[in-house]
């Protein structure tokens, strides 16, 4: 697909993130050929990875092999909690840049709200770590900075403790997990809401309502889930290691779900998590 057709969303950093990206993960989540295909044949320009996924070196290699210019790409990676704390966070970011073969990141996220830094509460450790991200942002090494899996109380604390409001919060989001209060909070505070696991790790694909809606549009259940995220204004990063599925997941801009179908999909929320549930993190 023509990449100019992938819309972007403005962040309060002044940068624009493509609404659709390609996810990576650590357990069977990386295929070099599929990433190359996404970059060279599907117009994918937004890649979501993390130190945790263990593939930053390969992602850097794929970017290089694809011939796509750095300035055309949106590259997100994440800081693992084991690397929290001011000094560690700065070093970890520089290490990620080195592995990816880049001199700046488009978006750097604190991966998870729990934080174990000796002698510090989780709140203090998050604040100290966030100050490192503020510094990396100030220096232009991270053009935008954000968090992942943060709930309202984590964001409220960060607001009290630090200066820069996160530019984006990346949270689980699919028809069974639609945390509307958190979405509304983020919007009120100018934090872009990024959604992960848009297909509920595949669980959404055989739900009868989603299958019925898909049939009505002549689309696949995956395309319906991705389109639903996009129509709800949520940045979405479906993961696939298969070329034909990546192609399919990108073909979501030539149709529009009716308001009624969006509401029907909204009503499938049952609170289930297919990834992590951060509600017990103080
Ligand atoms: N910030 C966080 O804490 C966090 C947590 C989890 C995930 N994430 C991010 O979100 C991304 C997506 O999450 P996810 O991979 O867990 O879940 P997902 O995107 O909801 O689902 C991926 C699963 O669906 C399959 N799939 C993809 N497209 C398909 C299609 N068109 N038809 C049928 N099956 C399809 C994939 O298998 P194949 O690969 O075999 O196609 C894979 O098993 C991750 O890659 C990661 O970047 C972030």
User: What's the chain look like in SS3?
Assistant: CCHHHCCEEECCCCCEEECECEECCCCCCCCHHHHHHHHHHCCCCEEECCHHHCCHHHHHHHHHHHCCCHHHCEEEEEECHHHCCHHHHHHHHHHHHHHHCCCCEEEEEECCCCCCCCCCCHHHHHHHHHHHHHHHHHCCCEEEEEEECCCHHHHHHHHHHCCCCCCEEEEECECCECCHHHHHHHHHCCCEEEEECCCHHHHHHHCHHHHHHHHHHCCCHHHHHHHHHHHCCCEECCCCCCHHHHHHHHCCCCCCCCHHHHHHHHCCCCCCCCCCCHHHCC
Mean pLDDT, rounded, for 193-197: 98
Ligand 1 atom 19, closest CA: 238
- Mutate which of 197, 206, 228, 249 for ligand 1? The one with the most ligand atoms within 8 Å of its CB, which is 197
217 has catalytic annotation? no
- The predicted structure's pLDDT at residue 277: 94
pLDDT tens digits, 197-239: 999 999 999 999 999 999 999 999 999 999 999 999 999 999 9
Residue spans per domain, the chain: 9-200+233-239
Atom of ligand 1 nearest to the CA of 205: 33
- The predicted structure's pLDDT at residue 3: 46
Q: Is 23 in the pocket of ligand 1 (CB under 6 A)?
A: yes
Mean pLDDT, rounded, for 154-180: 97
Q: Is 159 in the pocket of ligand 1 (CB under 6 A)?
A: no
Residue with tokens 């604040």: 127
Q: Is the pLDDT of residue 1 over 80?
A: no
Q: Is the pLDDT of residue 96 over 70?
A: yes
The Cα–Cα gap between 90 and 270 comes to 39
Ligand 1 atom 47, closest CA: 23
* Reported CATH class of domain 9-200+233-239: alpha beta
Mean pLDDT, rounded, for 42-66: 97
Question: 174: annotated binding-site residue?
Answer: no
Average pLDDT, the chain: 96
pLDDT tens digits, 112-149: 999 989 999 999 999 999 999 999 999 999 999 999 99
| End-to-end CA, the chain | 43
Q: For a pLDDT cut of 90, what percent of the chain falls above it?
A: 95
């Amino acid at each position: 697909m023509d990449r100019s057709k992938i819309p972007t969303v403005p962040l309060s950093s002044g940068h624009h993130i493509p609404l659709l990206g390609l996810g990576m993960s650590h357990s069977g989540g990386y295929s070099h050929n599929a990433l190359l295909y996404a970059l060279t044949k599907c117009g994918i320009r937004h890649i979501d990875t993390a130190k945790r996924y263990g593939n930053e070196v390969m992602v850097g290699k794929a970017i290089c092999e694809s011939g796509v210019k750095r300035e055309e790409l949106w590259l997100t990676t994440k800081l693992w909690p084991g690397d929290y704390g001011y000094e560690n966070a700065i070093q970890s970011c520089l290490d990620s840049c080195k592995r990816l073969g880049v001199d700046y990141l488009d978006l750097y996220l604190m991966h998870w709200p729990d934080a174990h830094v000796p002698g510090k509460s989780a709140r203090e450790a998050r604040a100290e770590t966030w100050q490192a991200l503020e510094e990396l942002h100030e220096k232009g090494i991270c053009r935008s900075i954000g968090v992942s899996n943060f709930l309202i109380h984590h964001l409220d604390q960060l607001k009290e403790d630090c200066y820069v409001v996160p530019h984006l919060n990346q949270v689980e989001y699919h028809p069974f997990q639609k945390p509307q209060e958190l979405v509304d909070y983020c919007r009120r505070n100018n934090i872009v809401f990024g959604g992960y696991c848009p297909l509920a790790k595949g669980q959404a694909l055989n739900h009868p309502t989603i299958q019925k809606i898909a049939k009505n549009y002549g689309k696949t259940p995956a395309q319906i889930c991705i389109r639903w995220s996009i129509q709800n204004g949520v940045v979405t990063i479906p993961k696939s290691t298969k070329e034909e599925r990546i192609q399919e997941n990108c073909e979501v801009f030539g149709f529009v779900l009716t308001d009624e179908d969006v509401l029907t999909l909204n009503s499938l929320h049952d609170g289930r998590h297919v990834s992590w549930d951060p509600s017990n993190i103080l």
